[in-house]
Structure 1
Amino acid sequence: MTGDQRVDIERLQLVLGGIGQSLPIGLLLSTLLLGVFWFSINNPEAPLWRHYHLALLLWYPAFMALRVTVVVFSRYWLQRGFSAERVMALLHWLLLFKGLEGVMWGALSWIVLRDGVSPAAFALLLALMAAISSNAVAMLSPFMTLYLTFIAPNLVLTTSGFLWLDGLAYKAMGICCLIYVLGQYWQARLVGRGLNDSITLRFANLDLVARLETEKATASAAREQAEQANRAKSRFLAAASHDLRQPIHALGLFLETLSFSALNVTQHHVLDSARSAHQGSAEMLNTLLDFSRIEAGVIKPRRRFCALQPLLYKLESELAPQADARGLVYRTRETRLAVISDPALLELILRNLIANAIRYTESGGLLVACRRRTGCVSIEVIDTGIGIAPDQHQDIFREFHQLGNPERDRSKGLGLGLAIARGLAHSLGHTLTLRSRPGRGSLFRLMVACATEGPAPDIDGESAGSLEQSLVGRRLLVLDDDSAVRLGMHLLLSGWGCNTREAGSLDEALALDWPTPPEAIICDYRLREEQNGVSVIRHLREHFHADVPALLITGDTAPERLREAASSELPLLHKPVSAAALQQTLKTMLPERTPSLSPSAESDAP
């Protein structure tokens, strides 16, 4: 159904509704007029008296029959309803009915306009014509043809009736009737136009609301689809990451163990190349891990005083060789400024920004500088690289979005660096912005709160004594459902002088012969039969009746798994674990050995 058809149906419903409610007033008005005009002749002996009353007696039932017919017709079609195709047929019937009604009202004027009728009756007739015309304006103006069909015969007969009478006053009344109805005609046009515009606007608003609802539903469906795709992507990445981390973690353990062996120069060269390839894979997986940790919301910033120059010097010493290898100039402007931030997370943000600048700069170089702003420090990474088009300024912060890397060159990363940088900046309450133009390089600006006080004591620092503990002779229990990982851990820990036992599940660990409890437990977070490391460690501590130090190692990067592991409050390392990180964590978590006296010393003791 078109918009015009809906408007026509609405207009006709308004007209039918008005007519359907007009029976009581029509009955009352026609009966009142009959009574008034019946007694309005001053001279009952007048020759036309009998004809006058006979005409009134004929007019009244004819008019009432017509009025009842029109009302019943209108109510019937209102209740039944009608389609757009029936509008014209119903309108034709209404034109017939209203034309006849106009003739009936005009005929009444001819009946009562005669000599001998009281002036009061004439005044009542004029008031009646005015009321009928005004009512027709309100009721019939949606269709001007309907209004004209009704008012034209009424006007012609009433005006001619006044003009037929002798006397200037009657002729003046006829002319006044004509002028009044003409004025009413223009008012009817205005009212009709307003009603039609209102109906059209209402349907336009309804169409707009319907369109908005449809677009809202479409947008909601698209958003739900995008969220499902994002969740599916996260699940896929988590599963793929976990499955990749297992063999790469085991490979790292084997390579580290192999480094203890006596190798010739060629073998050392091959080993270094294998370790370099392993390190590249581990770095990519750790990038995915950083992104997953941001999505999971498990990164809890620990803001404190952070001097910027040592951090910038550390980054330059690590990343400048990469710039040198590409023939780029790496410059850092010295600064004495300090900020309030999490040093580790701030370092990760800047490392991603600087590494990104090195990747996408072909010639020239980059500058890392700090500038004081009102209450803040602006840390800026400026490069002379390829630049970024304005319409890409937001897209480059989306995950896996890369510019100028259609072949997915592994040396250019995964497209997560800037997404991680913005996510970490948001977590820290910092502001990361970009200014760039194609071919003119880029400027990444990180706004960080300026530090106003000196550094606070580092209560989280590890004591020198704990870092110097030896692992030789330590009794360790390793739980992992991957046999290659268990073997790699056994070889590596044995190479450090540890006494290790391995198990693939809680039942296997409990079945081992334990003369004394282990000094530490190294447990994978996800084991067979839906066991997780947290519950396994709890059961083992209950079994040993001791709060044995424990370390969780996980290859899971699913957000819910990261949250669960982080909430355990156990030390947590992510596969692939470097040998240095594992060694340092074990030294930190293991208690110091209690010095024991030798037998000779015991005998000499007092």
Structure 2
Amino acid sequence: MPPPRTGDLAHLPRHMPFSSYDLITEPQNLGAILEAIPDLLFELGLDGRYYSYQAPREDLLTAPPERLLGRRVTDVMSAEAAAVVMAALHEAHQYGRSTGKQLTLLLPHGLSWFELSVARKTPQPGQGPRFIVLSRDITASKHTEDALRQSRDRERSRSDELATLLDVAPTAVWIAHDPQCKLITGNKLAAQWLGVEDGINVSPAAIDHARVWGCKILKDGVELAPHQMPLQRAAAGEEIADYEFDIVYPDGRTRHVLGNAVPLRGTDQRIDGAVTAFIDITARKDAENLAQEARQQAEHSNIAKSRFLAAASHDLRQPLSALGIYVNLLKGEVLPSGQKILANMSDCLGSLSELLNDLLDLSKLDAGVVVPNVSTFSVSELFANLASIHEPEAQLKNLRYKCRASTLTAHTDPVLFKRIVDNLISNAIRYTQSGGVLVACRRRGGKHWVEVRDSGVGIHPEHIIEIFEEFRQLDGGARNRGSGLGLAIVAKTAQLLGLEISVRSSPGLGSVFAIEFPPGPALTPPSHPAAASEKRRLCIALVEDNGLVREALTLGLQAAGHRVIAATSGPVLGAALGAQVPDIVISDYRLADGETGYDVIDRVRKLVKPDLPALLVTGDTDPQLIRSMADRGIVVLHKPLEMETVEAYLEDLTYQSH
């Protein structure tokens, strides 16, 4: 059956939901208007039978036109869809119209959604009830609606996930939802910090939100005003990073927190509010405070130790200095039968002097007055010099002492480096009872090393780190001699020079101590030095308030051929000098009645000449005092004195002044 003409739908009721009804009622316009309608238009009976239709496209029909007219909706669509149509027909039969009912149809191009509008026609003679049904394709809008709903569901899901994340995160978050901070919310941790069980959702007049629950916000011990709060500052446009403050609770507990605060901006870059995120650093702060207290206690202990050592060293050096000079003077006076006893006395003095020198070296390093004087020197010459010192000592213990020659040079402070190697060799000989000691250069790990290898008692690996501590000696056996300072000095000196120390050891098999050295360029052979000039006889002005030391030092200097004018203080020396002009002034540092060696040197220089050579003698090892001496640029010798050392300084100082 061909499709009916549009005139078949001419009798439309006035209550149809179409616009411009007056135009529709004009017969000459009806056909064009119906052709322009993009929706399906049907005439159905109350039993669902099709009497006519108008379709913009036949692919929107559930059946071909020839199978559609005269049949019922139950014959051409699913039972569910047919039930929706029949319900709309009965509703329109009862109330005159029905709108808004939706159904789905499986069409050739896929599943489609339709929305129905049904109106009852004016009854015609001999006809049963007829209805005009408008079926609008809403598939596209349905898909859009579904997409929007899914998007809203996803947004809601993401919002829920974010809320869950914020609640489980170990971070307290406060959010101001407007620039004036009239609405503030926070996650569960933020609520717990402020003692709020049900979460934070308040509208205070200002950001003084902590006071709502009785807490105080302190910064460096000072309570913050409302406008100083990080959230309100961020809402005013400020970005705050690594901000610390304290939450003080009514019961006196304090929580230390750290975090950031940033403004929240909209798409137009206007500030819409602010957010802060803070973590609890109470445990870290407590640990830092404990560590600070421990450091202060350690510093106080070190200061007390340094003062004790300085005082003890000074008091010990006075008699030792005099005793050393007397023993040296006795060497040519004692009979052969007494030389062994005199040698034993010298050994005892040497041991005591070594201990005091170790204390002095450590004090100098702690005071920071040791300044490296870097130069290039021959490693072989260093080895030869040390061999002349340590080989006889090794032979006395029936140990083999061997140095392997090297063509290398080192570029560091030769005096400090020699002291390190000298200490390592001394330890190797001291703790080796059989076998020998080997000193050699090695290249390992891309670096050059001086290795000192011994066959001594060895060290357990877990104790290696301990041997570099001050006054630390391992228990038992051969490792119970010495001051316990040697390797501490080695470690501090190596650190000063920026050099690495390496230790390999096995108990009972021996040890290998190695010190790194930067290689230097090749050295040109030195020219032959000119013959030394004849030793000068000097007039020496000496001030020492300790009678024993003054007398011993006077005798030692006179034995070396010098003339000595000795006194107990600067004023006494000035009177004793009269018109005499000394070549050099030597003074002890600590004198009676608060006078110092500086005062003596200044007095004599004013009497004689401003650039008169001067030598300061002291037994002090206090780091601060040593530092002050170095700052004055005066040559300082430390007790106990070796006359050979004093002679060398006298010659050097007086030679430079002529």
Q: When the two structures are superposed, what TM-score results if normalisation uses the length of structure 2?
A: 0.56
In structure 2, the partner of 1:245 is 317
Conserved? CA contact 2:613–2:657, under 8 Å: no
2:369 maps to which residue? Answer: 298
| 2:614 is the counterpart of 1:550 | yes
**Pair 376,338 (structure 1): closer, same or farther in 2 beyond 3 Å:** farther
Any idea what SS the aligned residue of 1:548 has?
Answer: coil
Cα 1:457/1:551, change in 2 over 3 Å: farther
Letter in 2 for 1:427: L
Q: How many angstroms apart in 1 are the aligned matches of 2:436 and 2:330?
A: 39
2:410 corresponds to which residue? Answer: 339
Which amino acid in structure 2 is aligned with residue 235 of structure 1? R
- Could you tell me how far 1:371 is from its partner in structure 2? 2.2
Partner SS state of residue 387, structure 2: helix
- Match status 1:368 vs 2:439: yes
Distance (Å, rounded) in 2 between the aligned partners of 1:585 and 1:566:
16
Question: Is this contact kept in 2: 1:555–1:574, CA < 8 A?
Answer: yes
Conserved 8 A contact 2:400-2:437: yes
Aligned to 1:421: 490
Counting only pairs closer than 5 Å after superposition, residues 163-178 of structure 1 correspond to structure 2 as: none
Secondary structure of the 1:13 match is: coil
Does the CA contact (< 8 Å) of 1:357 and 1:383 recur in 2? yes
Over aligned residues, Cα RMSD in angstroms?
Answer: 3.4
Deviation, structure 1 residue 483: 1.2
The count of corresponding residues between Structure 1 and Structure 2 is: 406
- Whole-angstrom CA distance in 2 between matches of 1:470 and 1:12: 88
2:643 is matched with: 579
Tell me if structure 1 keeps the 8 A contact 2:191–2:200.
Answer: no
Aligned residue number for residue 502 of structure 2: 433
Partner SS state of residue 214, structure 1: helix
Determine the structure 2 residue equivalent to 1:214.
286
Amino acid at match of 1:240: A
Task: Describe the shift of the 1:362–1:541 C-alpha distance in structure 2 as closer, same or farther (beyond 3 A).
Answer: same
Cα shift readout 1:312-358 (whole Å, capped 9, x = no counterpart): 12212211233233333222112111111222211110011111122
- Equivalents in 1 of 2:446, 2:191: separation in Å? 67
Q: Alpha-carbon deviation of 1:575? A: 0.7
1:358 aligns with 2:429: yes
Q: Which has the higher contact order (CA 8 A, sep 6+)?
A: 1
- For 1:564 and 1:448, how far apart are their aligned partners in 2? 31
Q: Please, which of 551, 557, 561 is the counterpart of residue 625 of structure 2?
A: 561
Matched residue type, 1:589: L
Equivalent residues of 2:439, 2:450 under 8 A apart: yes
Alignment partners' CA distance in 2, 1:428 and 1:390: 26
1:547-594 residue CA offsets vs partner (Å, 9 max, x unmatched): 322212111111112122223323322111111111222223235999
| 1:529-555, Cα deviation, whole Å (9 max, x unpaired) | 333223321221112245322212111
Alignment of 1:228-239 (within 5 A): 228-239=300-311
Deviation at 1:406? 8.4
One-letter code aligned to 2:599: S
* Aligned match of 1:570: 634
Q: In structure 2, do the counterparts of structure 1 residues 462 and 211 end up closer, same or farther at CA, with 3 Å as the change threshold?
A: farther
1:438 and 1:407 map into 2 onto residues whose CA distance is 12
Q: CA deviation at 1:276?
A: 2.4
Counterpart of 2:535?
469
Task: Name the one with the larger strand percent.
Answer: 2
Deviation at 1:79, TM superposition (A): 6.0
- Tell me if structure 2 keeps the 8 A contact 1:462–1:588: no
Which residue in 1 is equivalent to 2:548? 484
Q: 1:424 to 1:515 in 2, by over 3 A?
A: same
Which secondary structure state, in structure 1, belongs to the residue aligned with residue 198 of structure 2? helix
Contact 1:339 1:377 in 2 (8 A): no
Q: Give secondary structure in 2 for the equivalent of 1:500.
A: strand
Cα 1:339–1:16, aligned 2, differ >3 Å: closer, same or farther? closer
**In 2 relative to 1, CA 21–269 (structure 1 residues): closer, same or farther, beyond 3 Å?**
closer
- Aligned residues of 1:380 and 1:446 also touching (Cα < 8 A): yes
> Match of 1:321?
392
Contact 2:408/2:522 (8 A) holds in 1:
no
Alignment-mate amino acid for residue 469 of structure 1: K
1:80 & 1:349 partners in 2: Cα distance?
64
- How far, CA to CA, are the matches of 2:193 and 2:638 in structure 1? 70
Could you say if the C-alpha distance between residues 268 and 11 of structure 1 is closer, same or farther in structure 2, counting changes exceeding 3 Å? closer
Q: Which residue of 2 aligns with 1:588?
A: 652
* Aligned with 2:465 (options 388, 391, 394): 394
Query: How has the CA–CA distance of structure 1 residues 11 and 222 changed in structure 2, closer, same or farther, with 3 Å as cutoff?
Result: closer
* Paired residues of 1:431 and 1:446 also in contact (CA < 8 A): yes
Aligned residue identity for 1:569 = G
Q: Distance in 1 between matches of 2:530 and 2:578?
A: 31
Separation in 2 of the partners of 1:340 and 1:242? 35
Letter of the 1:556 counterpart: D
- C-alpha displacement of 1:222: 0.9
Q: 2:132 corresponds to which residue?
A: none
Which of 196, 202, 219 is the matching residue for 1:13? 196
Aligned pairs (5 A) from 1:37-436? 206=280, 209-261=281-333, 263-372=334-443, 376-405=447-476, 409=480, 412-436=481-505
- Give yes or no for contact 2:541–2:586 (8 Å, CA) kept in 1: yes
TM-score computed with the length of structure 1 as normaliser:
0.61
Q: Secondary structure at the match of 2:370?
A: coil
Shift of residue 80, structure 1, vs aligned partner: 7.8
**Other-structure match for 2:596:** 532
Shift of 1:499: 2.1
Q: Distance in 2 between matches of 1:570 and 1:455?
A: 34
Structure 1 residues 561 and 80: CA distance shift in structure 2, 3 A: closer
Q: What whole-Å deviation, never above 9, does each CA across 1:275-328 have from its counterpart, x for those lacking one?
A: 222122112211211111111122222221211112112212211233233333
Letter in 2 for 1:419: A
Specify every segment of 5 or more residues in structure 1 that has no aligned partner in the other structure, as ranges. 1-5, 23-74, 82-200, 595-606
SS in structure 1 of the partner of residue 297 of structure 2: helix
Q: Is the 8 A contact 1:375 1:449 kept in 2?
A: no
- CA distance, structure 1, for counterparts of residue 651 and residue 384 of structure 2: 28
AA aligned to 1:244 is L
Q: Aligned pair 1:453/2:522, yes or no?
A: yes
Residues 462 and 558 (structure 1 numbering): CA distance in 2 closer, same or farther, change over 3 Å? farther
Q: How many percent of aligned residue pairs carry the same amino acid? A: 35
Deviations 1:503-542 (A, max 9, x none): 1211211222523221221111222233322332122111
> Which residue number corresponds to residue 579 of structure 2?
515
Shift of 1:413: 1.1
Paired residues of 1:402 and 1:415 also in contact (CA < 8 A):
yes
Tell me, in whole angstroms, the C-alpha distance in 2 between the residues paired with 1:463 and 1:415: 43
Contact 1:469 1:592 in 2 (8 A): no
Unaligned runs of 5+ in 2: 1-188, 216-276
- Counterpart CA distance in 2 for 1:544 and 1:497 is 23
Whether contact under 8 Å (1:522, 1:553) holds in the other structure is: yes
| Gap change, CA 1:221 and 1:80, over 3 Å in 2 | closer
Tell me how far 1:448 sits from its aligned partner.
0.8
The CA deviation string for residues 169-210 of structure 1, in whole angstroms up to 9 with x for no partner, is xxxxxxxxxxxxxxxxxxxxxxxxxxxxxxxx99xx64xx32
Greater fraction of residues in helix = 1
Q: Is the 8 A contact 1:250 1:485 kept in 2?
A: yes
Q: What is the CA–CA distance in structure 1 between the aligned matches of 2:389 and 2:438, rounded to whole Å?
A: 15
SS at match of 1:401: coil
Whole-Å separation in 1 of the counterparts to 2:421 and 2:332: 35
CA distance in 2, matches of 1:378, 1:17: 66
Correspondence for 1:110: none
Displacement after TM superposition at 1:375 (Å): 7.1
Change (3 A) 1:15 1:571: closer
